[in-house]
């Protein structure tokens, strides 16, 4: 079934990028995520929605092994990207995170120049041989993040001197600079004003052509606007996962409907 919005650019969205099976996450005694099965498609924006504490950010953080950094977190189950088990002992989490980039709720540029913010990742991953290579990666990344025209004349200025919306786009440029295939976004617009939000949303739609984007959002309207697929989490369970247009017009599960229409928190 393919009932994407007619106005959306058609991108081949049927290839599976991430497969998760029987994923369980425990924080100490707390069972935070219960037996999640999900297939995330390539070149698709997938939105995770649900009330606070429902497990959506926890699951997002499983996808690039960010939960490894939480001492009491324990992840079980099987998560594969392009068929490869990302929790295999031979996988280097640092390499994984270059492939699976992440953008956080609050823009967190390094206290360095705009240029260095973007160049940092490619440098440590050895993606650029020459200065010219690096310049090219920085420019391309800033262009992808729709920030190039605004900052091209002040690349040496500090990244923290930009506006909130620009800082967030700088973080997106930094995330795409390592050539990721998947971009995880944890409430990327919640600290932004409506204009900057619209710019980031437009950007997300453009990024979909090259990446799989997974976005956690508390805004139902944002999920409805930017995503093609939506997953609703509640109390650690994945309640419903399907086409965004279906979820927001006629969801199958009454819990989904209660949540998206503002009846349960």
Partner 1 sequence: MPNSEHIVSGFDRDLEGIQAQIMRMGGLVEEAIARATEALETRDGEQARAVRDADRAIDALEEQVNDEAARIIAQRQPIAGDLRTVLTVFRVSTNLERIGDYAKNIAKRTETIIESPPVNGSAASLRRMARQVELMLKDVLDAYIQRDVALAADVRARDRDVDQMYSAIFREYLTFMMEDPRNITTCMHLHFMAKNIERMGDHVTSIAEQVIYLVTGDMPDDDRPKQDATALSVGPRT
The residues that touch partner 1, with contacts defined as CB under 8 A, are: 220-221, 224, 248-251, 254-258, 260-265
Q: Are 33 and 235 in contact (CB under 8 A)?
A: no
Q: How far is the CB of 184 from partner 1 (least distance, A)?
A: 25
Kindly state the smallest distance separating residue 35's Cβ from partner 1, in Å.
23
Which of 187, 240 has the CB closer to partner 1? 240
CB of 208 to partner 1, least distance (A): 22
Q: Which is nearer to partner 1, 35 or 257 (CB)?
A: 257
- Which residue, among 229, 232, 226, 231, has the nearest Cα to 207 in the 3D structure? 226
Tell me the closest approach of the beta carbon of residue 248 to partner 1, in angstroms.
5
Contact assessment for residue 42 and residue 52, using Cβ atoms and an 8 Å cutoff: no
When the beta carbons of 119 and 226 are compared against partner 1, the nearer one is: 226
Which C-beta is closer to partner 1: that of 19 or that of 190? 190
Comparison of 241 and 248: residue with beta carbon closer to partner 1:
248
- Say if CB 145 and CB 170 are below 8 A apart: yes
Query: What single string gives the DSSP state of each residue in 132-193?
Result: HHHHHHHHHHHHHTT-HHHHTT-TTSBGGGS-HHHHHHHHHHHHHTT--SEEEEESTTTTS-
CB 52 within 8 A of CB 32: no
Tokens 């909130």 locate to 164
At 249 the three-state DSSP class reads helix
CB of 246 to partner 1, least distance (A): 9
């Amino acid at each position: 079934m393919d009932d994407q919005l007619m106005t959306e650019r058609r991108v081949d969205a049927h290839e599976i990028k991430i497969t998760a099976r029987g994923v369980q996450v425990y924080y100490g005694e707390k069972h935070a995520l219960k037996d999640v099965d999900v297939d995330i498609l390539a070149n698709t924006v997938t939105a995770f929605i649900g009330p606070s504490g429902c497990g959506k950010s926890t699951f997002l953080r499983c996808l690039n092994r960010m939960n490894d950094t939480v001492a009491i977190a324990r992840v079980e189950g099987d998560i594969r990207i392009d068929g490869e088990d990302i929790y295999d002992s031979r996988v280097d989490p640092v390499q994984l995170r270059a492939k699976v980039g992440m953008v956080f709720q609050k823009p967190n540029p390094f206290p360095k120049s705009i240029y260095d913010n973007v160049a940092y990742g490619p440098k440590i991953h050895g993606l650029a041989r020459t200065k010219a290579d690096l310049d090219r990666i920085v420019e391309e990344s800033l262009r992808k993040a729709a920030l190039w025209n605004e900052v091209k004349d002040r690349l040496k200025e500090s990244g923290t001197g930009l506006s909130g919306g620009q800082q967030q786009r700088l973080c997106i440029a930094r995330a795409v600079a390592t050539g990721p295939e998947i971009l995880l976004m944890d409430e990327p617009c919640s600290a932004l004003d409506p204009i900057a939000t619209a710019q980031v949303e437009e950007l997300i739609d453009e990024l979909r052509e090259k990446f799989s984007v997974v976005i956690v959002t508390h805004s139902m309207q944002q999920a409805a606007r930017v995503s093609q697929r939506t997953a609703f989490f509640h109390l650690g369970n994945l309640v419903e996962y399907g086409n965004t247009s279906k979820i927001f017009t006629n969801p199958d599960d009454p819990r989904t409907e209660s949540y998206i229409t503002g009846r349960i928190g």
